[in-house]
Chain A
């Protein structure tokens, strides 16, 4: 440090304690206007399109360009659009079954990787990472071919079995995500808890249920929410595996988009946004509620 700077530094050190509205510190970027502006602009960039989309779902105009008045009629139209409702129900059903199976498979995969040493473990770990990494279009294409040529899903099955192909495809790409989340949670597990249970007389199965699963629980919940959202929102993979009688909500909205852009599409989109946001809020709330069990 320069000789002249020393007295300055000393003076700063000896300065009286700062008043309430003091100047921001050197690293408190958020309190200085350049970055405040940056963050603000970014947030505007991110939210403006969404907010206007939601606002215009109430627009009383077919062409949906200029605001012409407030109305709920497009919501009524959307909610009475039978094929839209059917698509929504389909999406929920698929997401529901996908979540259940993904959580089970994901939890088992996580335990397998966390607990055991076995030949070929790196290969299995790598393969489990593939569905996360490979571009969705490749997965979609693979599923399309699989269900068309290798394992044709029978036609004309009653609901909900006809959604099987889509559900299977969703599970395949969702459960590795669940496995990652659960495995992260497992890494903080104190193995002595398992040993303690066994020492006190518990069998393998009881140890799993009484000690391991409670620890995994936050991970399982987070994984379940993740699987549900991934399934509900998915477009590309579903686009390739669905047929004319097994439409899901995003696919239906897509075709509405391609044909006519009325505020009905806005209404349907807004409904989907609200559902997703509510689910995320619930998930976050549940996660924050869990008392920290990292000790002992």
Chain B
């Protein structure tokens, strides 16, 4: 039972003032300033004039930048889908494991999440590059297959061409999936763990196979969990900076990289601000979509 603030004015003031004031001063004001900048213009190396212009937004919607937005959305979307495909079976397996295994598995899945993003991305470089482990392994397989072929009298396979897995879009997607997989598994696991098992058993009992049961019974029931997982994977992937920066090539720029460039190198703060805000609006749209899905699922009960 909540109390009205009027019943304990002094206590309320003492408790509410510090966090609210902090939010105001060190969060809302900076965001508001950025917002103001979206309507500004560079008039000299360090001064910015607030002319109320929409030119920055217009520029952001030019084909070049629109293309980058589009690419970022596609990359983030692909990442999310892959995480879902990999994460769902894993979450399912953990949710139905024995309690002891459950705790260990969860820990193992979440531990990489606790290590630094930078390090995780960097670790992938050694794996994906031309002289990296994937290529080493494939080369080993290739050479052995070649040897085997000569053994049975067929022509050997040619030189091994290492796969270019680094410094391109593929690397970025792999990197984003690698980094965000634990984000997806946790809400999925939560939803699956809380689900009523007897519904699945009823479906199996009525003759449906496992896959059909999962598709027709589990997925709808776990929908809010899936929506959560999708959201907390998609948004960070959309605004990712480090992964495309370290793993991507010149044509794998995502929005965050472009924004960084405006602020650190191109010195076009108003434009960078406009791009940032567009990214924020995209984020809010994604959240609204998820809330909508959640409400629909709740109404179904």
Contact = CB atoms under 8 A, between A and B. Distances in A.
Contact of B18 (A104, A168, A233, A265): A104
Nearest to B197: A27
Interface residues on A, range: 35 or more
A149 B33 contact: yes
A63 to B, nearest CB: 9
Interface residues on B, range: 35 or more
Interface in A41-84: 42-43, 45-50, 52-53, 56, 64-65
Contact of A35 (B92, B118, B126, B273): B92
Contact of A127 (B5, B23, B235, B273): B23
Contacts of B283: 133-135
Given A38-B90, A135-B239, A141 B18 contact: no
B58 interface: no
Contact of A229 (B8, B33, B114): B114
A247 interface: no
Contact of B246 (A1, A104, A143, A257): A257
Contacts of B74: none
A52 B93 contact: no
B111 A280 contact: yes
B253 interface: no
Interface in B1-16: 1-5, 8, 11-12, 15-16
B8 to A, nearest CB: 7
A27 B18 contact: no
A118 interface: yes
A38 to B, nearest CB: 5
A249 to B, nearest CB: 9
B118 A235 contact: yes
A131 B108 CA distance: 28
Contacts of A56: 126
Most buried by B among A135, A272, A280, A284: A135
Interface of B: 1-5, 8, 11-12, 15-16, 18-20, 22-23, 26-31, 33-34, 37, 86, 89-90, 92-94, 96-98, 101, 105, 107-109, 111-112, 114-120, 122-127, 131, 133, 178, 181-182, 197, 200-201, 204-207, 210, 235-236, 238-239, 241-242, 246, 255-256, 259-260, 263, 269, 272-273, 276-277, 279-280, 283, 287
